[in-house]
A = this chain, B = another copy of it.
Amino acid sequence: MENKNITLASFKSLLVLITFTMTLFAFGKASAQNKDLIVRVAKLQIDSAQLDSYNAALKEHAETAVRVEPGVITLYAVAEKENPTHIMVFEIYANAAAYQAHLQAPHFKKYKEVTKNMVKSLQLVETDPIVLAAKPKL
């Protein structure tokens, strides 16, 4: 019975400690990130004959980058309903170093190579965030 109580108490203490540490880490990370964030919007026009292929490549690239790169926070790509070849990508990187690392990542180089003849125009708009409000989970 003594063993059981010690074990229960130890597990509870451990859980509290883990929760506390994760909370501290999450807050520290969020505040450190916000002042260094790189936020920009890419505006693209895609060859209509290759739109499905382009969208598939973009989807694969965005999901991979957010999954494997610690500094790629958000890649939201949308097509205008009235003209689906007009695409906007809303991009958030943790900091300048994360953005530079992204440009060197193998999946980014592959995406650029695969899509180079599909993209008719590309405009990169550098921005300053005014407010980035979002629920914790989409």
Contacts and interface: CB of A to CB of B under 8 A. Distances in A.
B3 A81 contact: no
A58 B88 contact: no
A34 B138 CA distance: 8
A77 interface: yes
Interface residues of A, number: 52
Given A3-B4, A78-B39, A78-B41, A55 B134 contact: no
Interface in A24-49: 26, 29-30, 33-34, 39, 41
B81 A127 contact: yes
A50 B1 CA distance: 66
A73 interface: yes
A113 interface: no
A127 B74 contact: no
Nearest to A76: B132
A81 B34 CA distance: 16
